[in-house]
């Protein structure tokens, strides 16, 4: 019984290994998308992502790209992965230069699956003489949709967030400048105290008729006399 259990442990679970391999492939595909399809992310989004750490930037870029491509769930991600596999047997991804072709093929097929009427029109146009014209129109429509993928509400929210972050950054910069000023004044104060103590401790003061130390004591006494009754 113990020997049989050990054999199963060594062999491992095939389904678990397959799932792990697929997860690695999806991760590699998303990294490839982030590198080769970065142009799908709007300039405004790029600007808003600049203050964020690198990992968070990549995650938000990937999320934006997937939304542009119409990927809404795990099933869509698995379908997208199929277009990025060079060979289903060896599980290697396509070359980065072929990423744009894979993206375009996925979007066209994804649209035909979600819109049967458009699929019929596409098939009819393919068989006609105006197939090239239809392909050009479809490409124009594709990039037009890509340009408007971010809603006006989202842009307004991001714009408000950008303004708030810029104001907060100005506040932090002003606070840093003031702290540096306070630190500089404190350092100057310490230097002046050290210099004053050096003068007061000098032996030259013993030869003076009215040493500075005695004058300081008299000034302090007079100040105390003036402020004492008010207390």
Between 182 and 19, the higher pLDDT residue: 182
In this prediction, residue 168 carries a pLDDT of: 92
Q: How far apart (Å, rounded) are the C-alpha atoms in residues 74 and 19?
A: 13
Q: How far apart (Å, rounded) are the C-alpha atoms in residues 64 and 52?
A: 15
Encoded tokens for 151: 């809603």
In this prediction, residue 227 carries a pLDDT of: 59
CB 38 within 8 A of CB 61: yes
Band of pLDDT at residue 33, cut at 50, 70 and 90 = confident
In this prediction, residue 131 carries a pLDDT of: 54
Residues 160-176 have pLDDT tens digits of 889 999 999 999 999 99
CB 67 within 8 A of CB 59: no
In this prediction, residue 49 carries a pLDDT of: 83
Residue with tokens 């491509």: 69
End-to-end Cα, the chain, rounded Å: 94
Strand partners, 85: 93
Encoded tokens for 44: 């405004």
Give the residue among 47, 55, 42 at the shortest CA–CA distance from 161. Answer: 47
Residue 8 has pLDDT above 60, yes or no: no
pLDDT averaged over every residue in the chain: 75
In this prediction, residue 3 carries a pLDDT of: 42
Residues 72-112 have pLDDT tens digits of 888 888 888 888 888 766 678 888 888 888 888 888 888 77
In this prediction, residue 130 carries a pLDDT of: 55
CA distances, 37 to each of 56, 60, 96, 111, 192 (Å): 17, 13, 10, 19, 62
Q: Report, in this order, helix, strand and coil percent for the chain, each rounded to 5.
A: 80, 0, 15
Percent of the chain with pLDDT over 70: 64
Residues 116-156 have pLDDT tens digits of 555 555 555 455 545 566 567 767 766 766 666 666 777 78
């Amino acid at each position: 019984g113990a020997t049989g259990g050990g054999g199963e442990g060594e062999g491992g679970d095939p389904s678990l290994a397959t799932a792990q391999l697929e997860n690695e492939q999806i991760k590699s595909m998303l990294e490839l998308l982030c590198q080769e399809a970065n142009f799908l992310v709007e300039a405004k989004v790029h600007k808003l992502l600049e203050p964020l750490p690198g990992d968070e930037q990549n995650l938000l870029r990937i999320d934006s790209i997937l939304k542009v491509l119409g990927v809404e769930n795990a099933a869509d991600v698995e379908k997208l992965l199929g277009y990025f596999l060079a060979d289903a047997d060896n599980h290697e991804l396509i070359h980065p230069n072929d990423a744009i072709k894979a993206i375009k093929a996925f979007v066209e097929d994804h649209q035909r699956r979600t819109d049967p009427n458009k699929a019929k029109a596409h098939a009819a146009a393919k068989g006609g003489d105006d197939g090239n014209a239809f392909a050009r129109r479809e490409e124009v429509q594709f990039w037009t949709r890509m340009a408007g993928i971010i809603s006006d509400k989202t842009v307004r929210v991001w714009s408000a967030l950008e303004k708030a972050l810029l104001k907060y950054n100005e506040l932090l910069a002003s606070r840093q400048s003031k702290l540096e000023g306070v630190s500089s004044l404190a350092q100057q104060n310490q230097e002046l105290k050290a210099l004053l103590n050096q003068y007061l401790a000098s032996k030259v003061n013993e030869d003076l008729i009215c040493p500075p130390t005695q004058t300081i004591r008299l000034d302090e006494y007079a100040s105390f006399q003036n402020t004492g009754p008010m207390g």
